[in-house]
């Protein structure tokens, strides 16, 4: 579901994660930023986390080695409801390091920590962001027709929701669908 008024904000530690990522793997930073822009359009994308991280979601980046972890917070602003996706961590999946760090952050940070707007974080990254801006999310390329068709007609996802996905997120959704146990052959037998 698209949330046109959602804002992505990063806790200071997550903004620091991005700064460190620029130093260790600058090539992946643009992909991370694109995913953050996607989260801004659809804050409930990705997979929910369990255990100590219930209420948080994760999304993979690149070769699935990197994870973005966030929560969606609904805050009343008069009559207006603003959904804010707070990004709590960006890091490597290796040996569940990002999940251990997230558990530590959740335990030690205040319930409503200070956050930084995604646009400000992008601006602070300068050349690393390669001209990417928050409004660039509206200009992305449409999905390949074959992928759109398979997600809508084969997998049964709503067309309006599929059309909000970028190519990487759509492909990830298709891969999850084709590898799930929910796929049965026409006779109702084993997964294909």
Give the model's pLDDT for residue 106.
Answer: 84
Tokens representing residue 167 in the block? 């190519």
Tell me the per-residue pLDDT of 5-38, one tens digit each, with 9 for 90 and over. Answer: 577 888 888 888 888 888 877 788 888 888 888 8
Q: Is 127 exposed, middle or buried (0-12, 13-18, 19+ CB in 10 A)?
A: exposed
Q: Where are the domains of the chain?
A: 7-139, 141-192
Give the model's pLDDT for residue 152.
Answer: 92
Q: Name the pTM for this structure.
A: 0.60
Out of 3.30.465.10, 3.40.640.10, 3.30.2310.20, 3.20.20.100, select the CATH number for domain 7-139. 3.30.2310.20
Tell me the per-residue pLDDT of 57-94, one tens digit each, with 9 for 90 and over. Answer: 888 887 777 888 888 877 665 433 344 555 676 776 66
Residue 41: pLDDT band with limits 50, 70, 90 = confident
pLDDT surpassing 50 at residue 51: yes
Least confident of 96-105, 126-135, 146-155: 126-135
Positive or negative CA dihedral for 74, 76, 77, 80? positive
Which helix H or strand E contains 24, and what residues bound it?
helix 12-24
């Amino acid at each position: 579901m698209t949330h046109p008024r959602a804002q992505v904000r990063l806790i200071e530690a997550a903004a620091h994660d991005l700064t460190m990522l620029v130093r260790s793997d600058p090539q992946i930073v643009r992909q991370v930023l694109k995913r953050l822009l996607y989260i801004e359009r659809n804050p409930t994308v990705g997979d929910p986390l369990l255990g100590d991280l219930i209420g948080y979601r994760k999304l993979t980046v690149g070769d699935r080695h990197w994870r973005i972890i966030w929560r969606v917070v609904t805050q009343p602003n008069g009559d207006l409801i603003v959904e804010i996706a707070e990004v709590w961590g960006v890091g490597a999946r290796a040996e569940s390091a990002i999940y251990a760090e997230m558990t530590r952050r959740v335990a030690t940070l205040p319930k409503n920590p200070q956050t930084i707007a995604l646009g400000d974080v992008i601006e602070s990254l300068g050349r690393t962001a390669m001209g990417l801006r928050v409004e660039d999310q509206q200009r992305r390329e449409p999905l390949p027709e074959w992928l759109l068709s398979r997600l809508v007609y084969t997998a049964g996802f709503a067309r309006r929701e599929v059309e909000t996905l970028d190519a990487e997120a759509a492909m990830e959704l298709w891969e999850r669908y084709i590898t799930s146990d929910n796929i049965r052959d026409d006779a109702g037998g084993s997964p294909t």
